[in-house]
Amino acid sequence: MISCNISLHFLSFPSTGKFKHNSKIACPYSLRYATSWAPTAARVLELGAGIGSVGIVAAWRLRGAYFVTIEAQEESLRLAKKSIAFNGLEDRFDQREGDFRFTREEGGPIAAEERDFELVLGSPPYFPLAEGTVSSHPQKAACRFELRGDVTDYCLAAARAMAPGGCFSFVFPVRPERQLQRVIDAAKQAGLVIVRRRSIRLKESDDPLLGLFMLHRAEDLPSPPPTTWVEPDLIIRRDDGTDHPEYTAIRLSFGFHPH
């Protein structure tokens, strides 16, 4: 049995795609980022749930929350269900197959009246189809390339599903600069406001590659909406090769040994 520790108590059955990169580096802090901002969320929606690792760690952080997860790929959903069952979380998850760009009335997985999620999670694919070689492996391809929508589609779906005062948290590239601009444009199109964001540097002297974003609906915020709080970069490793102390503390908060 191949499995992967994703927190002190939980295991996931990995596949391919962004698992190693996001789950081992960006995922722990992105979930700490999201769950700390919505610590009392009772209902959580995950868009593009993949193999389930994000939802499982979020469930460990939000012990009383109920999760609805959406995944379009049958194989990824199979692995996610296996992981949820292995960890004894079936009573806290409603795992649905489908394309979240469409409501249930349009053949999708989320009913139009489901607007009660205090927290929405997502990891949009990073690249348009024209910007690289699309893998022949369906899971790798869908993780990296926009086969079923882009960051704008994620923002639109989140905005439809959020409860009043709810928030949407996701990871997306901030380099090159046009990637960050895509997030800004997507938020505006969906009627969302980027309340806070933080970039991730994999190495101290490197430029940041990924960003963490927290968005709210504009209609739920005071007018005029607040200016985006740009937080200091999160550094994973220092130039001498050791883990940055903050990242060590983050790993410890999930039950991992710091090295």
Residue range 163-217, pLDDT digits in tens: 999 999 999 999 999 999 999 999 999 999 999 999 999 999 999 999 999 999 9
CATH number for the domain spanning 63: value is 3.40.50.150
Both tokens of 229, joined, read 């709080």
pLDDT (average), residues 116-122: 96
Q: For 106, how many CA atoms within 13 A lie in the half-sphere containing its CB? A: 10
Quickly list DSSP for 44-59: EEEES-TTSHHHHHHH
> Number of folded domains in the chain?
1
Give the torsion sign (CA, 96, 101, 103, 105). Answer: negative
Both tokens of 16, joined, read 């391919």
pTM recorded for the entire structure: 0.89
Using alpha carbons only, give the angle 167, 191, 107 rounded to the nearest 5 degrees. Answer: 80
Decide if 259 is inside a domain: no
Domain span including residue 40: 4-253
Residue 147 pLDDT = 65
Decide if 154 is inside a domain: yes
Residue 3 pLDDT = 46
pLDDT (average), residues 137-147: 64
Decide if 173 is inside a domain: yes
CA distance 177 to 23: 24
Contact between residue 56 and residue 67 where contact means Cβ atoms under 8 Å apart: no
Asked whether residue 19 carries a pLDDT value surpassing 50, the answer given is: no
